[in-house]
């Protein structure tokens, strides 16, 4: 059982936020509503446009989730930003932001792990990093509500603006997802958060500090609301062997590769105590937002979400994230 470290518990420190991802799968209305009902902070979805398995488009999914809920945030984790024109993407997200009362979060990445979808969308895969950089800059300019010009290597815009203004000044927060230095620099200089995936707790802490270093080098002071997130899979089963089998099966299917060795490194699995132990390390490393992707039989989603909320969530919320900023 995870032993709570009292030295980490201080009043007025940030409480870790915890969201749930459907991973691009179709969830019933009841399952989505349960995320809010059981006290999670947000609902997320992954996405690909052309992929080796069935997967839904992100903006469509989070729009449905926003319509079914009243309080929780909704967002893509992660939206493959190079595949979209920033003007259309900014308008879609802005519209959802207004209709939901400011409940949208956006995690973006370069993609590239499945080149076929870049070809299908007519996007040169070698341009993906530059496209993400310029798209974030453009979206943020649109969300000011002011007119602007933009002269980039990919996009050139003249005398454009976008109304209505977002619910909150500056528009929905944008977090950058990735695993390399380039996205870390992007997160440090123009984004509102950093969201690595398939990172151990130690590697995550290293990356959080790396982002802080890049921000310092750029002369940017990260404010207290800056997000250091993690995207993590978990399989909650009392039988640890069964949980591991579910993890291997699901992740091998999702990523189209054998996860029989990788599952121990990148998936929290087993009974509640073991999952608490695993996830606590990330919070202690500085993670202040966990995006969790549950692995369970589709017919048992609601009961799994309820059990995690009652047996794991309260323990995680007792742990104050390490201060990186």
Q: How far apart are CA 97 and CA 113, in angstroms?
A: 29
Residue 272 lies in a domain: yes
Phi/psi at 159 (nearest 5 deg)?
Answer: 50, 55
- The pLDDT of residue 12 is 42
Per the model's pLDDT, the better-predicted residue between 37 and 2 turns out to be 37
pLDDT tens, residue by residue, 97-138? 999 999 999 999 999 999 999 999 999 999 999 999 999 999
Exposure on the CB side of residue 65, measured as CA atoms within 13 A: 36
Provide the number of structural domains found in the chain. 1
Within-domain flag for 1: no
Q: What is the pLDDT, as a whole number, of residue 3? A: 41
pLDDT > 80? residue 278: yes
Q: Quick one: average pLDDT of 45-66?
A: 97
- What's the pTM? 0.94
Residue 108, φ and ψ in degrees, nearest 5? -125, 150
Q: Count CA within 13 A, CB hemisphere, residue 254.
A: 18
Residues 235-266 have pLDDT tens digits of 999 999 999 999 999 999 999 999 999 999 99
CATH, residue 310: 3.20.20.30
DSSP state of 154: S
Q: Give domain status of residue 324, yes or no.
A: no
Q: What is the mean pLDDT of the chain?
A: 95
Report if residue 126 sits inside a domain.
yes
Per residue, the 3-state secondary structure of 222-234, as one string, reads CCCCCEEEEEEEE
Task: Please report, to the nearest 10 degrees, the dihedral formed by the alpha carbons of residues 72, 305, 39, 97 taken in order.
Answer: 0
Query: Would you say 87 and 81 are in contact if contact means Cβ atoms under 8 Å apart?
Result: no
Confidence of residue 13 (pLDDT cuts 50, 70, 90): low
Q: Which domain holds residue 128?
A: 6-316
Is 325 among the domain residues?
no
Residue 75 DSSP SS3: strand
Cα separation, 124 vs 146, whole angstroms: 30
Measured distance CA(193)–CA(181) in Å, rounded: 14
Q: Is the model's pLDDT at 5 over the cut of 80?
A: no
Tokens linked to 128 = 């993906």
Examine residue 56 and state whether it is found in any structural domain, yes or no. Answer: yes
325 confidence band (pLDDT: 50, 70, 90): confident
Whether 252 is in a domain gets the answer yes
Secondary structure element (H or E) that encloses residue 37, with its range: helix 29-37
Considering the domain boundaries, does residue 307 fall inside one?
Answer: yes
């Amino acid at each position: 059982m995870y032993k709570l470290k009292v030295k980490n518990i201080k009043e007025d420190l940030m409480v870790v936020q915890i969201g749930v991802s459907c991973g691009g799968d179709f969830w019933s209305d009841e399952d989505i509503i349960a995320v809010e009902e059981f006290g999670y902070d947000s609902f997320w979805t992954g996405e690909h446009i052309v992929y080796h398995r069935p997967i839904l488009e992100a903006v469509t999914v989070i729009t449905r989730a926003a319509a079914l809920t009243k309080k929780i945030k909704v967002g893509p984790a992660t939206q493959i930003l190079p595949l979209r024109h920033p003007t259309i993407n900014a308008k879609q997200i802005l519209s959802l932001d207004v209709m939901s009362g400011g409940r949208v979060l956006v995690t973006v990445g370069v993609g590239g792990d499945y080149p076929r979808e870049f070809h299908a969308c007519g996007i040169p895969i070698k341009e993906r990093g530059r496209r993400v950089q310029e798209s974030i800059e453009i979206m943020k300019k649109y969300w000011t509500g002011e007119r602007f010009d933009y002269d980039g290597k990919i996009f050139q815009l003249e005398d454009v603006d976008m109304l209505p203004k977002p619910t909150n000044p500056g528009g929905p927060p944008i977090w950058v997802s990735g695993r390399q230095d380039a996205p870390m620099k992007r997160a440090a200089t123009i984004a509102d958060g950093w969201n690595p995936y398939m990172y151990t707790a130690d590697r995550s802490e290293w990356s959080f500090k790396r982002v802080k270093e890049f921000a310092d080098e750029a002369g940017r002071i990260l404010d207290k609301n800056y997000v250091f997130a993690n995207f993590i899979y978990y399989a909650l089963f009392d039988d640890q062997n069964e949980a591991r089998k579910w993890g291997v099966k699901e992740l091998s299917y999702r990523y189209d590769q054998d996860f029989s060795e990788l599952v121990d490194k990148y998936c929290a699995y087993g009974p509640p105590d073991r999952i608490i132990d695993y996830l606590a390390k990330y919070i202690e490393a500085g993670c202040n937002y966990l995006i969790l992707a549950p692995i369970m039989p589709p017919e048992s989603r609601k009961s799994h979400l309820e059990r995690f909320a009652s047996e794991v969530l309260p323990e995680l919320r007792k742990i104050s994230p390490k201060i990186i900023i």
